[in-house]
Amino acid sequence: MRHLYTFQLIEAVARAGSIRKAAEDANITASALNRRIARFEEEFGTPVFERLTRGVRLNPAGELVLQHFRAQKSDLQRVQSLVSDLSGMRRGHVTLACSQALVPYFMPEQIARYRRDYPGVTFAIKVRDRSQVERELASFSSDLALVFEPEHLVDFDVMHSIPQPVCAVFSAGHPLVTKTNLRLRDCLEHPHILPATEYGVRNLLNRAAKAQGRTVTPVVDTESFELIRHYVRHEQVVGFQIPIGLQAAPDNGLVFRELPARDVPVGHLLLGQLKGRVLPVATARFAMQLSMALEQLNSRQTSQPPPG
């Protein structure tokens, strides 16, 4: 869309930090790009970039302009989605930021289920920790967020929430397999592998250990939940995750046991969007599907004993 081109160029310059680099990426000359930005600043009535010794950066006015552009682009996508829906094309694009625990099982199942009914809809799934999701929403980089224990809830409009207890994860040959009434202290007496401090599971474990006068001292500290699931098969260590990221199977060599809430507080998995934003049709429909799936998952988990 021609009238959005200048805003797209401003966003490209802001991202590159250089008019020359942005011009190369946009396949235009640096002088032409510089003239277009200068013409916009003249019409707008104020500069939007600070000219530095090496490159440029957005000034406060430019930040506001870029935020306005992203909001307008989001609204335009919503209108395009509405038009597509009216014409029966059922097209759209859903961008979602989610916690790692959603990646191995829950999210693939939900996307495939949705695309069976609406194959014209495409998806972008971004794995983000709990401190990043609101920035994703505020910058319009993601439409939805599904995150465990988000750090802030300032601009987060919660659409659905389900509890997720912390589970201990270990191999089928671990001594704790036969332990009845498993407690956090039992787990911490064994070597353990933990997610990094920016993740909600680690935050809950740190708080729980501190309340018991203990400290967590992992033999492996990692940003990868997949590494945790695989590493416990190679050494008799205890890992920790939430149920939605685990799957019981007789041949996978894993055992996971829910830790009591009196030891580790139960966390919450939240589905949400940016406050005040009207979602595109495809995204809103997918959010409804996720809400129903989460509610069904919660009902199953509360009616069945934890595997292990």
**Whether pLDDT at 86 is above 60:** no
C-alpha torsion sign, points 285, 287, 293, 298: negative
**Whether pLDDT at 85 is above 70:** no
Name residue, tokens 């996720």.
290
- Give φ, ψ of 137 to 5 degrees: -70, -45
**Whether pLDDT at 189 is above 70:** yes
Q: Which pair of tokens denotes residue 182?
A: 């498993």
What's the chain's average pLDDT? 87
Q: What is the pLDDT of residue 305?
A: 56
**Whether pLDDT at 74 is above 80:** no
The pLDDT-based confidence of 90 (bands split at 50, 70, 90) is low
Residue 176 is classified by DSSP as G
- One of 3.90.79.10, 3.40.50.2020, 3.40.190.10, 3.30.70.1020 is the CATH number of 90-164+268-303, namely 3.40.190.10
**Whether pLDDT at 46 is above 50:** yes
Q: What is the pLDDT of residues 148-159, one digit of tens each?
A: 988 777 888 999
CB of 187 closer than 8 Å to CB of 176: yes
Burial of 178 (0-12, 13-18, 19+ CB in 10 A): exposed
Q: Which pair of tokens denotes residue 179?
A: 């332990």
Q: Which of 8-12, 80-84, 219-223 has the lowest mean pLDDT?
A: 80-84
pLDDT (average), residues 272-279 = 89
pLDDT (average), residues 194-223 = 92
Q: What is the pLDDT of residue 87?
A: 54
Q: Which of 74-78, 165-169, 180-184, 303-307 has the lowest mean pLDDT?
A: 303-307
pLDDT (average), residues 8-13 = 86
Residue 259 is classified by DSSP as P
CB of 195 closer than 8 Å to CB of 230: no
Two domains, one topology: 90-164+268-303 and 167-265: yes
Q: What is the pLDDT of residue 88?
A: 44
Q: pTM of the predicted model, to two decimals? A: 0.70
The pLDDT-based confidence of 266 (bands split at 50, 70, 90) is very high
Alpha carbon distance 229, 170 (integer Å):
8
- Report which of residues 173 and 3 the model is more confident about: 173
Q: What is the pLDDT of residue 32?
A: 86
b/e 55-90 (16+ beta carbons within 10 angstroms → b): bbebeeebeebbeebbeebbeebbeebeebbeeeeb
Every domain of the chain and the residues it spans: 2-66, 90-164+268-303, 167-265
Q: Could you say which architecture CATH assigns to the domain 167-265?
A: 3-Layer(aba) Sandwich (3.40)
**Percent of the residues in the chain that have a pLDDT greater than 70, as a whole number:** 92
pLDDT (average), residues 264-281 = 91
pLDDT (average), residues 173-189 = 92
pLDDT (average), residues 237-259 = 84
- One of 2.60.120.560, 2.60.120.10, 1.10.10.10, 1.10.3720.10 is the CATH number of 2-66, namely 1.10.10.10
The set of residues, in sequence order, having a beta carbon less than 8 Å from that of 116 and lying 6+ positions away, is none
Q: Which of 74-83, 90-99, 118-127 has the lowest mean pLDDT?
A: 74-83
pLDDT (average), residues 104-132 = 92
**Whether pLDDT at 308 is above 50:** no
Q: What is the pLDDT of residue 248?
A: 63
Alpha carbon distance 246, 41 (integer Å):
53
Q: How far is CA 199 from the centre of its chain?
A: 11
